Amino acid sequence: MQEAPAKKIRTDLFDAPFLRRIEHLALLARRMATSGQRAQRRSKKIGSGIEFADHRDYTPGDDPRYLDWKVYGRTERLLLRQYEEEEDLSVYFLIDRSTSMGMAPAGELNLFERSLQVTAALSYISLSNLDRVAVVPFSTTVERPDRSLRGKGQFFRILRLLSSLQIGGPTNLPNTLRDFARHRPRRGLVVLISDFYDPRGLDDGLRYLAFRGFEVMVLQLCDSRLFEAGHFGDLALVDCETGERRELCMTPELLVAYEEAFIEFSTDIANAAREVGARHLRVDVSTPFDEMVMKVFRSGGFLG
């Protein structure tokens, strides 16, 4: 269940310098964009736009105005010209708010807070591009999202929404993405922000989204600082979400093996994303905020 929007915005995350920085990032993004004032992000929907997209065979009932007569003159085949339909892009920010996202060294921003900041920045950029923005937090299941917001004037509403989100619950990605795809008929860009720490994996969920025609960007946040402190010796590792306990003798070699396993895990996620045509980006939480946002902005399809 989605929390009610907070009356106040979390100033620890979204203070005045932060707002100035995302304004600056928005300017940078605008320079990088090639299109004009509206609908600057083209959808994949074929419709009544002016940009040629493809040909298809004519079937009875089709509008004869779209027949390509030049092709017919050369080949005597009736082909119908198809144009990309330009429409407002819906950007869905699916934010993982499971317990694992809340882990961080003392005094540092955790993944969840960083994901809120990234979402805020990308939302501002999207709103600036007149895209529709929706914030969808999830853990075990996805809350039914509010309606999409459009226009920069809605930015503070988004900030209040982000400020109201709380961490809690385990992660269930397949269930979450299936529910999201079922509840959202309007296709668009799904920015899935999570650590993806789910033993069930990401594959099924992404297939749901792809099947429903969503363009997906997988933003994998990770925190390499958690094991930099060097906990060695006999340890009992407790899963923060499931409470499952594993006893081991932590050694430097084991830590190296963990890093290798994490890379393998990330590779699995990237492969899963690639299989469904989604973009994958892994960002460490220690990456400077501006760099992180622009990296996401570039690779996330926000520029079309």
Partner 1 sequence: MIGALTDWQSWAMTTGGVLVAIGLLYLLRPRRRQIQVPFGGLWQRVLAKAEARALGRRWRRLFSMLAIWAIAGLMLAALGEPLVGLRGCSGPPDLEASHTILLIDTSASMATLDGVPLQVDVDAIADQRISRLDEARARLREVIASARPAERFLVVSAAGRLHTRSGWTSDAAVLKHTITTLQAGQAGLDLRQAWAAAQDALTGRLRPRIVWISDGGPALQAAPVPAGVEVLSIQVGRPPAPDRPAGLDNLAVERVGIRPSPADPGRGTLTVRIRNDRARAVNARVTIMATAEGQTAADFSGPAALKTTRTEEIGARSARWLQFNQVDLSAGRFAVRVQPSEQAEWRDLAGYDDRAYAVAAIRRPLKVLLVSDGNLFLEAALLANPRLTFHKEKPETYRPERWAAADRALHHVDLVVLDRVAAPPPPGQPHLRFDPLAHANTLAGTKYVGAPEMVIAPGEHPLLRGLSLQDTNADRARILEVPQGAEVLIRARGNGPLAVASSEGLRRVVIGLDLYDTDLGGRLTLPILMGNTIDWLAGDEEALLPPLDLGRVWAIEAPVRGLKWTYRQPGGDTTPARVAGDQLIASSELHGIHQWHGSDGTILARSTRLAATERPGLQVALGRPWQPPPSVEQARGQPASRPPWQWLLLLAMVALLVEWPLYLRRRTV
Closer residue to partner 1, CB minimum distance, 63 or 234:
234
- With CB under 8 A as the contact rule, which of the stretches 45-53, 88-96, 248-256, 293-301 interacts with partner 1? 248-256
Query: What one-character DSSP code corresponds to residue 134?
Result: E
Query: What one-character DSSP code corresponds to residue 110?
Result: -
Dihedral sign (CA 174, 299, 293, 271): positive
Pick from 58, 66, 83, 265 the residue near partner 1 by CB under 8 A: 265
Tell me the sheet residues that pair with 133. 91, 149
Closer residue to partner 1, CB minimum distance, 41 or 114:
114
Binders in 62-101 for partner 1, by CB under 8 A: 100-101
Binders in 102-141 for partner 1, by CB under 8 A: 103
Beta-strand runs (E) in 25-158 = 46-47, 51-57, 79-84, 90-96, 132-138, 149-150
Q: Check residue 263 for interaction with partner 1 (CB under 8 A).
A: no
Pick from 258, 271, 275, 277 the residue near partner 1 by CB under 8 A: 258
- What backbone phi and psi angles, to 5 degrees, belong to 29? -65, -35
Closer residue to partner 1, CB minimum distance, 47 or 199:
199
Closer residue to partner 1, CB minimum distance, 85 or 239:
239
Cα(131)–Cα(231) distance, rounded to whole angstroms? 46
Q: Are 85 and 49 in contact (CB under 8 A)?
A: yes
- Per-residue binding string, partner 1, 190-209, x by CB under 8 A, is -----x-x-x----------
Q: Are 156 and 87 in contact (CB under 8 A)?
A: no
Q: Which residues would be at the binding site for partner 1 (CB under 8 A)?
A: 100-101, 103, 195, 197, 199, 223, 226, 230-242, 244, 246-251, 254, 257-258, 261-262, 264-265
